[in-house]
Amino acid sequence: MPKVTFIEHNGTRHELDADSGLSLMEVAVANSVPGIDADCGGACACATCHVYVDESWLGKVGDKTDMETSMLDFAEGVQDSSRLACQITLSAELDGLIAQLPESQH
Amino acid sequence: MAEAIQVPTASDLPDPWTVPLDKMNVANAELFKHDKHGEYFRRLRKEDPVHYCPDSEFGAYWSITKFNDIVAVDSNHKVFSSQDNIVIGDAEPEFLTPMFIAEDPPKHDYQRKAVTPAVTPGQLADLEGLIRQRVCALLDDLPVGERINWVEHISKELTTQMLATLFDFPFEDRHLLPYWSDASTTSPAVGAPDVTYEQRHEILQECLNYFGRLWQERAEQPPKFDFISLLAHNPKTKDMIKDPMEFLGNLILLIVGGNDTTRNSISGGVIFLNKFPKEYDKLRADVSLIPNMVSEIIRFQTPLAHMRRTALEDIEFQGKQIKKGDRVVMWYVSGNRDEEVIDRPDEFIIDRDKARHHVSFGFGIHRCMGNRVAEMQLRILWEEIMKRFHKIELVGEPERVTSNFVLGYTDVPVIVHAK
Ligand code: HEM
Ligand code: FES
């Protein structure tokens, strides 16, 4: 079971056990991590599951699709490490992943 | 002498369950006026969720009626284009007002980005105090114990004030905003009667002149976070003023986008709490439900019934052959009642689980830019209402707008009861 850590904008940490195969967004929502709205339910169509993936993990979480890139293009506070959490599928390889949450979702 | 005009009544509408499917025209604005559209869409979701109507006053069109199909079409902007037309009826070719909601990338992208800073969560936090102050002033002035029209007293005025804030529009002239908004939405392209295109153009010209003056003023001042200043100072949009129709188009978008939608959500909330009195009890018992209720109000109202796309290529969609050039209408009003995605969709439930999971704001790159402002406006309003009043009592049937696009009300008779 991969472990993932969400760090809220105010610094609060949520260390969670996640099932492989779930998306990073689903893990956050299932554990009521505040700051992930996921309005579209994981369809890569709302950009309200925006997270910053720690640099060291960026190479392992897979590439962005065109759609994810377009959706992120309209999100607020986007950085190189920005990803949509619903587009990252957890696996043993991502054990230890750390994702920071932005101040707010737009 | 002019012939007497026949006012259609609800009984003139065909039976939703027996009309042949190929004769089913869900775009008939009378269905919405009389609040009879629900059963037609229920039948389509059940029997023909991607439905082709070969002939209507708007031409032939596809109806997308299921929640997940709407998400799929809305987020596939490469095939389903917004170029020029986002409502079912085609825009008038001789009065095209380009606006970024009706553009594909790249124009859409840089114009949207230019104005977004006016409505980001950070900017809204700065506006919250002002918006609350205005809500309080309005509520404190409300006549208690007498019959009033909630639309005129609150919904319209509050939304107008919100828009005036976002445009930093001269406050004493703010009534012009809904006036221009109405002129642009009551067009024959959405089935609204009694307006000629000429009348519309005249009014919109006034709007253009007024904002032209504001633009000049803002361009000379240091940049600020209102829509006009943002456009006038952004390197990619600072010449928009030289293309008056495009300037007008984007003005209309920013005025209309926030106007009827927010206004009708404010009215809708009062109606739903009255039709579902147990929910009003829940709210009185726990006002921390307000943010969740706001999402539920916006789902239940679905202030914009549809958005339209045009297929750029032939595509098979859910077993149907959509052809290049076809009109494709995403019926948000139906997606929000999709029983396969939303539990008990016909009930207004203020503590509903996953209340944000609705299609009222659309999805994909055109997803509503003002969603957070609208939610904030409604949240503040309900927080302040609950501090002051025991009940906003609905005392008659609401009067609805005739449109297949804007779902809303002209009259919501209420009596306000003090705490
Ligand atoms: C409850 C209130 C509102 C509702 C239900 C609503 C609904 C919508 C919908 C359905 C769309 C099109 C989405 C799509 O095509 O996928 C949209 C777009 C838009 N809305 Fe809203 N809206 C609301 C409030 C506002 C407010 C307050 C503003 C701003 C003042 C606003 C500005 C816009 C703009 C600029 C667009 C175009 C976005 C684009 O094309 O990228 N809306 N809205
Ligand atoms: S949940 Fe909507 S984009 Fe991720």
Identify all chain B residues contacting A76, using CB atoms and an 8 Å cutoff.
116, 120-122
Judge whether A51 and A23 are in contact, CB under 8 Å.
no
The pLDDT score that the predictor gives to residue B64 is 98
Nearest chain A residue (CA) to B363: A45
Bond before B106 cis per omega within 30 degrees: yes
CA angle B334, B338, B339 (to 5 degrees): 150
Token code pair at residue B97: 């007002």
Domain ranges of chain A: 3-100
pLDDT along chain B (419 residues), means of 10: 56 91 95 96 98 96 98 97 95 85 96 96 92 96 97 96 96 94 72 71 92 97 96 96 95 93 97 98 98 98 98 98 98 98 98 97 97 97 98 97 93 97
Give the DSSP H/E element, type plus range, for residue B297: helix B290-301
DSSP string, B133-191: HHHHHHHHTSPSSSEEEHIIIIIHHHHHHHHHHHHT--GGGTTHHHHHHHHHHSSGGGT
Residues B134, B191: Cα–Cα separation, whole Å: 35
Residues B138, B389: Cα–Cα separation, whole Å: 13
Judge whether B304 and B360 are in contact, CB under 8 Å.
yes
CA of A26 to the centre of ligand 2 (A): 10
ipTM above 0.85, yes or no: yes
User: Residues A69-87: pLDDT tens digits?
Assistant: 999 999 999 999 999 999 9
Is residue A86 in contact with ligand 2, taking CB distance under 6 Å?
yes
Token code pair at residue B200: 């519309």
Burial A28-61 (b: 16+ CB within 10 A, else e): bbeeebebbbbbbbbbbbbbbbbbbbbeebeeeb
Ramachandran region, residue B145 (left: φ > 0; alpha: ψ -120 to 50; beta: rest): left
Nearest chain B residue (CA) to A69: B365
Distance from the Cα of residue B46 to its chain's centroid:
26
> Which positions ≥6 away from B3 have C-beta within 8 Å?
none
CA angle A20, A21, A23 (to 5 degrees): 105
Largest CA distance in chain A: 33
Predicted TM-score (pTM) of this structure: 0.95
Task: Using pLDDT thresholds of 50, 70 and 90, give the confidence band for residue A1.
Answer: confident
Domain ranges of chain B: 10-418
Closest CA to B159 of B253, B267, B251: B267
The pLDDT score that the predictor gives to residue B74 is 98
Roughly what angle, to the nearest 10 degrees, separates helices B156-167 and B371-388?
130
The pLDDT score that the predictor gives to residue B271 is 98
How many angstroms separate the Cα of B276 from the Cα of each of B273, B279, B283, B346?
Answer: 5, 6, 11, 11
Local structure of B356: helix, strand or coil: coil
Task: Using pLDDT thresholds of 50, 70 and 90, give the confidence band for residue A19.
Answer: very high
Residues A104, A37: Cα–Cα separation, whole Å: 10
The pLDDT score that the predictor gives to residue B2 is 42
Alpha-carbon distance A106 to nearest alpha carbon in chain B (angstroms): 6
User: Residues A29-82: pLDDT tens digits?
Assistant: 999 999 999 999 999 999 999 999 988 999 999 999 999 999 999 999 999 999
Listed in order, strand segments (DSSP E) in chain A are 3-7, 13-17, 50-53, 82-84, 97-100
Residues A50, A69: Cα–Cα separation, whole Å: 12
Surface of B (321-360) touching A: CB under 8 A: 354, 356-357
Residues B245, B164: Cα–Cα separation, whole Å: 22
Q: What are phi and psi of A44, to 5 degrees?
A: 60, 40
Is B364 in contact with A71 (Cβ distance < 8 A)? yes
CA of B166 to the centre of ligand 2 (A): 27
Residues B211, B146: Cα–Cα separation, whole Å: 38
Domain B10-418 has CATH 1.10.630.10: yes
Token code pair at residue B400: 């609805």
Choose from B357, B359, B368, B369 for mutation: most chain A CBs within 10 A.
B357
Residues A58, B189: Cα–Cα separation, whole Å: 48
Local structure of B408: helix, strand or coil: coil
Residues B365, B399: Cα–Cα separation, whole Å: 34
Cα dihedral sign for B381, B383, B385, B387? Answer: negative
Bridge partner list, A53: A99
Eight-state DSSP code of residue B208: H
Residues B228, B217: Cα–Cα separation, whole Å: 10
> Which positions ≥6 away from B111 have C-beta within 8 Å?
B100, B103, B236, B237, B250
CA of A85 to the centre of ligand 2 (A): 7
The pLDDT score that the predictor gives to residue B8 is 67
Residue type at position B204: L
CA of B338 to the centre of ligand 2 (A): 20
Query: Which residue minimizes the CA distance to atom 43 of ligand 1?
Result: B368
Listed in order, strand segments (DSSP E) in B276-325 are 306-311, 315-317, 320-322
CA angle B328, B86, B333 (to 5 degrees): 70
The pLDDT score that the predictor gives to residue B190 is 58
Query: Which residue minimizes the CA distance to atom 37 of ligand 1?
Result: B101
Roughly what angle, to the nearest 10 degrees, separates helices B121-140 and B156-167?
140
Burial B40-65 (b: 16+ CB within 10 A, else e): bbbbbbeeebbbbbeebebeebbbbb
Tell me which CATH homologous superfamily contains domain A3-100: Beta-grasp domain (3.10.20.30)
Cα dihedral sign for A46, A50, A55, A59? Answer: negative
